[in-house]
Structure 1
Amino acid sequence: MKKLLLLALLASVTALGQQPYKRVILLMGSRFEITVVASDSLQAAAWTDQAIAEITRIEKLISSWDPNSQTSEINRQAGISPVRVNEELFALIQRSLGISRLTDGAFDISYASMDRIWKFDGSMKAMPPADAVAASVARVGYQKIQLDPKTYSVFLQEPGMKIGFGGIGKGYAADRAKALLMAAGAPAGIINASGDLTTWGIPPGGKPWQVAITNPMDKTHAYGVVPVENRAVVTSGDYEKYVTLDGKRYTHIIDPRTGYPSRGILSVTIFAPKAELADALATSVFVMGLEAGLDRIEQLPGIDGIIVDEHGRLYTTRDIQIQRNR
């Protein structure tokens, strides 16, 4: 009995000695915040270094900017020949096409083929011509991406096609870093990849991680907080980049099916088991619109969402409970 009591006391002291350690670093062209709960700074630093190495490895695999990546080779061989890739990249592309089918093309990794005719740096003063918009998406279409599971090869059917992982890559990297840290023994933490956030474990204090839901009408304030335990949270919003033309506001989130900016929604927050899925769905629901997007989320097991429409009205799926700020 005394031995059990001593073990329990030691476990309690260890738990009390744990605290979160955070490091901020630029990875994949974005701000990453890596938080791990550890008993000392040396252990936290070692775990964080492992996470950074894993994220860097993934960036080299999926980057379309690195001429030596397998993704760049797929794009170079568009319309010419299939490219054999490793199993990890093949599986990511396979899952991406599955999300495209799930969202009726609102998510599409071949968006990288689009001509960038919309400018959100203040230089755009008029709507682009309709024929230019149509031409900008002429080579976009996930149906034109051929996969051969026997050889792990990827073929883009048309010359000029490109794939990119801007809508799913950071989420995937966050998931991989989380899995690595959990396997290494980190009891709790958060990987925040510029808003693509995934959590595990319970922080010191015994309560789940708390995630603030930004008010897109005033991003200096939050609607409230939502407790998040072993889940991912991703928000897509139009409050960062947009242009106003003829009195109408157009977001930087472009519908890959039409070439036009999405309208009617200010922000979408998705809660999912994986950051990869939450990342892809957040943008997809934004593109799909309020009714279709909310309906689609409700049909997916394990997925929850919060949508703020263009009038600032907040909609949530059934299982979401926000602790509102007063």
Structure 2
Amino acid sequence: MADLVDVSFPVEGILPKKETCADAFITKYPEWNGDGTLIAILDTGVDPGAAGLQTTPSGKPKIVDLIDATGSGDVNTSCVVEAQNGVIKGLTGRNLQIPASWKNPTGQYHIGTKVLFELYPKGLKDRILKERKEQQWDPQHRVALADSIKRLENFDNKHNGNSNLSPEDKCIREDLQAQVDILTNFDKKSVDVGPVFDCIVFHDGNTWRACIDTSEKGELDQCKLLASYREEHEFGRINNSDMLNYSVNIHNDGNVLEICANAGSHGTHVACITAGYFPDKPERNGLAPGAQIIGVKIGDSRLGSMETGTALVRAMIKVIEHKCDLINYSYGEASHWNNSGRVCSILLCFITVECVP
């Protein structure tokens, strides 16, 4: 049976061009590769670092824009401060060292904070929580618990089973027992809220830029400085443990920072099916490798990647603003009433179907 295994599966085999007759169309019309077409991917978000989503065959950026329509990545950066001796105090209380390479003619910085776990997909959050517990919490907690138990045992041994304790000794023993009880309960009931990052936004004289203190130490020269994605098509990575890529958009004169990070892998998957381009391995190409895309996140990371009506409305506004030619929307749940409700009415207002004879 091993001789019958299709060695191309599951790499090329997961894109069934043959079964859908797409390969016949591509063979017949090789020049029709989607060049000049803009496709909106309404989904969990699209990873800007994914293979196949870097450029088109003509060298244009594959991803035109990345947008979080859910609000899960929004940061209030309306607090404005000025640096003192090259340092600003973040809202976390950390001292943030301003790199000498930053250009800020006004000297003003918009600051805010973001809880990292609000950006994580559920699977990633579960993994990181487990790793943090095993690497950071458990070793120190076990030492503290063992030490408190030992102190209590030593006290009991010294006082011969606590038969005739003075009032003062009783208080001491109750305190030692309370320490053991509290540390034991901590292990069962503690909640890890995750890292909290300082966020900095400023205008460099030409455009708005943002930096997220992923160092958690105020060492901003070690962190990525980004403009809105549509301007420079740059992105950063939180760290090498979570491998979560992110981009930013800046709104309201620096008062709102939008951090775009995927709520799951589905959006990247369908983006590659739609328009992935692998110059060295064309068999992996999507159906329209020449097309460009915008990734619009409608799956809220705070809701387990569930979409909301608000996110869909915002997404359609962006689709119209970008004058997209097509929308890929393989997302959603069953509805009680078909083709009804606010979202459907807005979709019908925005979408025009043209019949070509």
Higher relative contact order structure (alpha carbons within 8 Å, sequence separation ≥ 6): 2
Larger radius of gyration: 2
* Structure-1-length-normalised TM-score: 0.30
